[in-house]
Chain A
């Protein structure tokens, strides 16, 4: 076996989630050989990875949301890796942005960080627990800055 390119493309968690869910559906339909010993590894890794990704905000994303997010991110001039992290984690505080964006103090002003947070939280859907919490608090908790 030969590895031609160890890093030909980066995948977002949503893409992997989609792929594994489709794979699970396919295998369920052709049910007979799911339990043969050879498939056990695939079953294990699929189950665990799906379990992990389902707890992240990625499970509510869709290709349109991802496209919209990337278009909105164009103006902020972030690297591919930074955009990918924002997409996978959906940060809600400035501290998280500082972790994911390198040298954010030099590259982004405070208003830009606020704008970035606003874009992220408005375009990307929240995770399942966050949705529950949002419904529990009757009024909005996010500070909405008035557009200048």
Chain B
């Protein structure tokens, strides 16, 4: 689920922090910059693992702060393809089942990847697995808050860095803000035996 990513960056330490140990200031700055943020094509950054190398710190003319090039390793959430994860159902919509790990929410299981046959119950807004046995069909509901085991089948990174001022002029000045896209989303699947709500597969 988690990987170590080696990165290099230049960290700026303002003069009023010079009395602190350099390593501590740098660790704090790196965490401030990266924790809980998604890096494009890398994953969701969790926290600093360690600092592997500190190069010389320079002070440039006009800026009293010191600039240090730092080589460090960061803990990043980036599940590999086909990894099995356990999460909680956040809700259901016609697009599929939304699953959340407490620290990461943008996981979707599309309708075609659910245990088949599945139908969407409009009244209760919940996906249902119509499980057939000899006695007849059981309806297994995928309720909010239930723990669910799924396989990661796809991931997508969206570059959400700000674009320049758009050429389209005042047409949409009073309209709502453009839809916020999640920078990192996972697509899951539960169409195999053993996947789906944990309660479906526990033998009592």
Please give the residue numbers on chain A whose beta carbons come within 8 Å of chain B beta carbons, in ascending order: 1-13, 15-16, 19-20, 23, 33, 38-39, 41-42, 44-46, 48-49, 51-52, 56, 81, 85, 88-89, 93, 95-96, 98-100, 102
B59 within 8 A of A: no
Expressed in whole angstroms, the Cα–Cα distance for A11 and B8 within the complex equals 20
A19-B49, A49-B103, A89-B84 known; A99+B6 contact, CB < 8 A? no
A11 → B minimal CB distance (Å)? 4
- Contact (Cβ within 8 A) A5 B35: no
A41-B37, A88-B1 known; A6+B42 contact, CB < 8 A? yes
Expressed in whole angstroms, the Cα–Cα distance for A75 and B3 within the complex equals 26
B residues less than 8 Å from A89 (CB atoms): 84, 86
Could you tell me which residues of chain B, from 80 to 127, have a CB within 8 Å of some CB in chain A?
Answer: 80, 82-84, 86, 101-103
B residues less than 8 Å from A85 (CB atoms): 83-84
A35 → B minimal CB distance (Å)? 13
B residues less than 8 Å from A6 (CB atoms): 3, 5, 41-42, 78
B101 → A minimal CB distance (Å)? 6
B residues less than 8 Å from A93 (CB atoms): 194, 201, 203
Chain B: interface size category: 35 or more
- Contact (Cβ within 8 A) A16 B5: no
Expressed in whole angstroms, the Cα–Cα distance for A102 and B192 within the complex equals 13
Please give the residue numbers on chain B whose beta carbons come within 8 Å of chain A beta carbons, in ascending order: 1-9, 28, 31-32, 35-37, 39, 41-42, 46-47, 49, 71, 73, 75, 77-78, 80, 82-84, 86, 101-103, 149, 151, 192-195, 201, 203
**A3-B6, A39-B31, A93-B203 are known contacts; what are 18 more A-B pairs with Cβ within 8 Å?**
A1-B7, A2-B8, A7-B3, A8-B6, A9-B4, A41-B35, A42-B36, A46-B47, A48-B102, A52-B102, A81-B83, A85-B83, A95-B193, A95-B201, A96-B194, A98-B193, A99-B194, A102-B82
B residues less than 8 Å from A12 (CB atoms): 2
A4, A48, A100: the one contacting B7 at CB < 8 Å is: A4
A11-B2, A95-B193 known; A3+B36 contact, CB < 8 A? no
A3-B7, A16-B75, A20-B47 known; A42+B192 contact, CB < 8 A? no
A residues less than 8 Å from B82 (CB atoms): 102
- Contact (Cβ within 8 A) B4 A11: yes
B residues less than 8 Å from A88 (CB atoms): 1
B4, B78, B101, B194: the one contacting A52 at CB < 8 Å is: B101
B50 → A minimal CB distance (Å)? 10
